[in-house]
Structures are given as C-alpha cells and as structure tokens.
Chain A
Amino acid sequence: SQTIHQWPATLVQPVGSPLSLECTVEGTSNPNLYWYRQAAGRGLQLLFYSVGIGQISSEVPQNLSASRPQDRQFILSSKKLLLSDSGFYLCAWSGLRGWTEAFFGQGTRLTVV
C-alpha cells in the first residue's frame, strides 16, 4: 500500500533562517506531488506541484522553492524565512492524470519567530 511521510511535524525557526521540509512517498511510482499551505482563514493553498523528477510548477510567487531530486521525494525550501511563512504545510501525492483523490501527509507546523 502507498504511504506518505512528511517531517518534521513541528518546527520553530527564526526570521532569516533557512528552511528544508522533506516529503517521501512509498508504494507508488511516478506520482504527482504537491505542497500546500494552510494559513488561518485561507483554506489549503497550493504552493507547488510536480509531475516528474526536476519538473516543478509554482502556483504563488513567494519566498519558497521546491525541488524533486528523486521520483518519490519532494522538498520545500527557503533561503531566508519571513514571519509570513508561518503556517501548516502539507505534502500530498496523486496518481496519473484523471485521478480522483490526493493523499496527504500529516503536515508540518512551521512557526517563524
């Protein structure tokens, strides 16, 4: 069966520090991968998605970047965190185009202080 791992679960970082959140998927090949952020009152905002290794689409201009160095690995990064980067970050995967659902990791609560 497929599983998705996301870590860390919580993170407190000072303003200006770098960020690296990692997500890995097991039990499937060539998944579509996604990073979402849940900010207060904003629902789930799609940040990045990837349909293959090295292929990244950015949805929202921001202080963050994403990379997919391996088929089942998706990384969310920042060189210098801002206070506004605080939020709940979720990684998700889905199957081929025409999929009917996406599966989410447990999320990372990021607090920038």
Chain B
Amino acid sequence: DQQVKQNSPSLSVQEGRISILNCDYTNSMFDYFLWYKKYPAEGPTFLISISSIKDKNEDGRFTVFLNKSAKHLSLHIVPSQPGDSAVYFCASNFGNEKLTFGTGTRLTIIP
C-alpha cells in the first residue's frame, strides 16, 4: 500500500519556464514532507521540506505547496534550468522514524 504517490513518471519543461512536480498522499499522520533530487548512480540529495503546520515553504527557485484537505503537495521550480534535469522524489516521515518515498518523477529541462 503506497502512502506517497507520484502519478507522473516524467515531465519535460522548456528552460526558463516553471516546472511543477506533484505528489499525493493517503496517510494523514505526518510531520514533514520532503523533496529529494536524484541524479543517475548517485544518492538522493535533499532539496526542500514543509512541515504539517505550513502550507508553503520557499527556498530560492524552489517552492513547495501543501494542500492538506486534498492531501496533495507540489514542488515548483522557477525558472527551470538545465541542471534541474533529474529524478525528483517526494517523501514523508508520517510521524515516525521511517521515510517513505514516492516512485519519482523524471524532470527533463529542454534548452
């Protein structure tokens, strides 16, 4: 039973435009949602997180929005750059020590 779902396996965006990556969840018990970025043959690196008490968190070009009523969060990247091409995972700890990941979305930035 997948608690964190990323329904879009891939996304292509023109350089300079906004990239929007989506994530849905089924478990209401969480403290944090996190977004990770992963290049091939490397470990994921942390990008940005949002706690359950907020609906928006911004860090430079990256903004995460949380809609608790819809059980949905999204990551906005603006403007998109070629170096943003990677696989993006959303994850949540659901109130315990374990970090549960989605299946990832491969973002390709087109020059």
Residues in chain A near residue B97, CB distance under 8 A: 32, 49, 51, 94, 97
Give the secondary structure class of B's interface.
loop
Which of B11-19, B43-51, B62-70, B71-79 contacts its partner? B43-51
Hey, what's the 0/1 contact readout for A21-51 against B, CB within 8 Å counting as 1?
0000000000010101000011111100101
Bound Cα distance A51, B98 (Å): 10
Interface size on B, residues (CB 8 A): 25
Asked if residues B98 and A49 are in contact (CB atoms below 8 Å), the reply is yes
CB distance from B48 to the nearest CB of A (A): 10
Asked if residues A104 and B43 are in contact (CB atoms below 8 Å), the reply is yes
Hey, what's the 0/1 contact readout for B94-111 against A, CB within 8 Å counting as 1?
001111111110000000
Interface on B for A, CB 8 Å cutoff?
6, 9, 31-32, 34, 41-46, 49, 51, 89, 91, 93, 96-104
Interface on A for B, CB 8 Å cutoff?
6, 32, 34, 36, 41-46, 49, 51, 59, 88, 90, 92, 94, 97-107, 109
